[in-house]
Chain A
Amino acid sequence: MSSSGGGSGGVRDLRLDFFRGLALFCIFIDHIPNNVLANFTIKSIALGDAAEVFILISGYAAGMVYGRAFDRQGTLTASARIYHRVWQLYVAHVFLFMLFMATVAQAAANLNAGLYADEFRAADFLKEPDVAVIMALTLRFQPAFMDILPVYIVLLLALPAVLLGLRRWPLPVLGLSFALWLAVQFDRGINLSAYPGQSQVWFFNPFAWQALFFFSAWLGWRSNHGGVAWLANRWLFWLAVAIAAAGFLLRVDWTLHWLYDPFPAFFTQALWPLMSKTDLSPLRFANVLALALLVARLIPPQTRFLAGPIAQPFVMCGRHSLYIFCLGILLSVIGHLVINEQFGGIVLQATVTAAGIAVMIGVAGLMDWFAVASGSPKARVAGRGS
């Protein structure tokens, strides 16, 4: 994200696709409960997980692409493009909700019987479809694992106004955004209400997560104009190294403690209250920014590795992130069902995970092929080197 990181020309920054693809794989793996492989995702090497990476890269890419659109196509066209994207995300969310309803309606009888009667109240919303459907359409009903798209949607809704502001008064706008995040840290009541619980709130608090998204969007937009000079500061680099290293050591320490209790865990009492994912706690915020800075500084955008065959599956999935994300959610539900029905150990878990990732890569490859075959504008991107 330093001056060299911008994709000011037509050259695509493969790092964005690669790490977004990596985040998508991690989200898929983390969403399968009891999966041993979840011990090897981003969340086991940092105080945070793939969600931060996903939002950060989405913000950066949005700022870069739509920032360029603002510069070249004007406010109206650029805003229309953003709202077109919002519409796609919204349709994807509603589609996922339909799949979710179908699964739950099938399983409802079993969920509320026997041991689980009176406990899970699963599918209570099936008794009031009139309310539940409206709540889903208004993004307030966010069933398990369907919580990240709604926050992405509302952040994109605000993006045209924020980008306009960032272009004219970058510091005040970023300051306001940061102040709102800070306010949430002190008053967790600042959040949007959700359904079905009386006091339920959005799992990803948009008033907190906006700070990460818009800061990244600003970086992405600046990358079109030569980047941000102070990001090249030597001391900032070493600060990022320190934060990332501390996050890594703490997380590994906690994992070891969890696996083997007598292994001492450090700072748990002090730090666990500061680990809120809903409100994007300072630890998570700092850790993801530090990692991003390190990646931007240490990996040049056109590294040979990123264009090579090993990185290709990641890049492919990252390129079609919306579809692969939705597919990953669906696959993780199926994968979980398979693992729990068959009670597989590590072997089955690894097999299911590998199969899911293979399907994700396969579909991404299919979409690349389709883009070329149908001659869509994306073909220029997909057909590398041609």
Chain B
Amino acid sequence: MATALLRLGFRLIAVTGFGLLALPVATAFAAGCVVPSDAFVFEPKLPRTVAALSAGGTVTIVAIGSASTVGRAAGGPDYAWPKQLGVSLAKEFPKAKISVVNLGKARQTAANMAARFAKEILPLAPALVIWETGTVDAVRGVELSAFRETLQSGLAQLRAASEVMMMDIQFSRRTHIMTDFEPYESAIREVADVNDVPMFPRNELMRYWSESGAFDYTVEKKDEQQAMARRLYACIGRALAEFIARRPHAEGSNP
């Protein structure tokens, strides 16, 4: 009970932006983007995907999302996070033949994407689908309960065939003036939570990297922007690989 309370207190600090306490025990990456050691602690694991990767066969992962999945800011899908995820996973699981398919399309709402699931994702029989969404819905003001229902039914459809991971909205410093992202962010978190589907905390990580000085997302020159985007997507790809690779522990197993 005491440790539970301690962890609750720790989490309180963590949710306010991964307090500095997390730094000393963090895993360091070469490029300077660090993932706090507790970032993924409570997220459900992906045992079937990990088993398939460890077994060394062919493993297909599908990434579906909007502009930030396409990777236009970095110069296209060759530099986007799905590509980088494939690279990082290959290092982690050298025996597996991994293909990460990028089905990202700019300006798509969750409903637009869900309409493509049956035709474009299910035939690929992926081990894992990563669904990045929320931004376009928030910008267009899609009604919140409609958004939530789309997530719920979309997850049900995907989970019938494969494991699923959600990815939330990008962090930004200034866009909140325009759009209130928080309700959509919470909706993704809650639907993932209710369905016991892992959510990759992209927003929290990007915020953490910005706070710790690893990234400045507001650089203004075009070439600097592209270089920054490439580095960011590489960091997200690596963090994602780490997120997936967490092997099931006896102690922290999920129902």
Contacts and interface: CB of A to CB of B under 8 A. Distances in A.
B111 to A, nearest CB: 9
Contact of B142 (A117, A197, A262): A197
Contact of B145 (A111, A260, A279, A333): A279
Interface in B128-170: 135-136, 139-146, 148-149, 152, 170
B67 interface: yes
B177 A345 contact: no
A32 B32 CA distance: 30
A41 to B, nearest CB: 13
A259 B194 contact: no
A196 B136 CA distance: 12
Interface string A290-325: 000000000000000000000000000000000000
Contact of A113 (B145, B207, B220): B220
A122 B176 contact: no
Given A33-B182, A144-B180, A343-B211, A201 B8 contact: no
A12 interface: no
Nearest to A106: B177
Nearest to A103: B177
B106 A340 contact: no
A260 B135 contact: no
Contact of B141 (A34, A119, A203, A272): A203
Given A118-B67, A120-B135, A272-B190, A110 B218 contact: yes
B45 to A, nearest CB: 13
A340 B170 CA distance: 14
A191 B194 CA distance: 28
A119 B135 contact: yes
Interface in A335-365: 336-337, 340-341, 343, 345-346, 349
B225 A268 contact: no
A331 to B, nearest CB: 13
A336 B176 contact: yes
A121 B177 contact: no
Given A276-B144, A341-B173, A259 B210 contact: no
A265 B192 CA distance: 13
A122 B170 CA distance: 14
A74 interface: no
Interface in A243-273: 256-263, 265, 268-269, 272-273
Given A115-B232, A121-B139, A345-B17, A110 B67 contact: no
Interface of A is mostly: loop
A111 B177 CA distance: 10
A162 B143 CA distance: 28
Contact of B175 (A120, A196, A258): A120
A84 interface: no
Contacts of B219: 114
A346 B16 CA distance: 7
Nearest to B135: A119
Contacts of B225: 113-115
A118 B178 contact: no
Interface in A29-67: 33-34, 36
Contacts of A203: 141
A73 interface: no
Interface string B23-57: 00000000000000000011000000000000000
Best-buried of B141, B149, B180 by chain A (most CB within 10 Å)? B141
A123 interface: yes
Interface residues of A, number: 60
A327 interface: no
A202 to B, nearest CB: 9
A275 B186 CA distance: 13
Contacts of A191: 143
A110 B174 contact: yes
Interface string A149-190: 000000000000000000000000000000000000000100
A233 interface: no
Contacts of B73: 114-117
Contact of B16 (A143, A198, A345): A345
B11 A259 contact: yes
Interface string B186-217: 00011001100000000000010011000001
A95 interface: no
Contacts of A113: 220, 225
Contacts of B239: none
Interface in A94-147: 100, 103-104, 107, 110-111, 113-123, 143-145
A201 B146 CA distance: 11
Given A107-B174, A107-B178, 7 more contacts: A118-B106, A121-B139, A194-B141, A201-B143, A259-B12, A273-B149, A276-B144
Interface of B: 4, 7-8, 11-12, 15-17, 19, 41-42, 66-68, 70, 72-73, 106-107, 135-136, 139-146, 148-149, 152, 170, 172-182, 189-190, 193-194, 207, 210-211, 217-220, 225, 228-229, 232
Give 3 nearest A-B pairs by CB, closest first: A261-B42, A197-B140, A118-B67
28 contacts: A33-B176, A33-B182, A100-B177, A107-B174, A114-B218, A114-B219, A114-B229, A115-B73, A115-B225, A117-B72, A117-B73, A119-B67, A120-B135, A121-B139, A143-B178, A144-B177, A144-B179, A188-B145, A197-B139, A197-B140, A260-B4, A268-B193, A269-B194, A272-B148, A272-B190, A336-B176, A346-B16, A349-B16
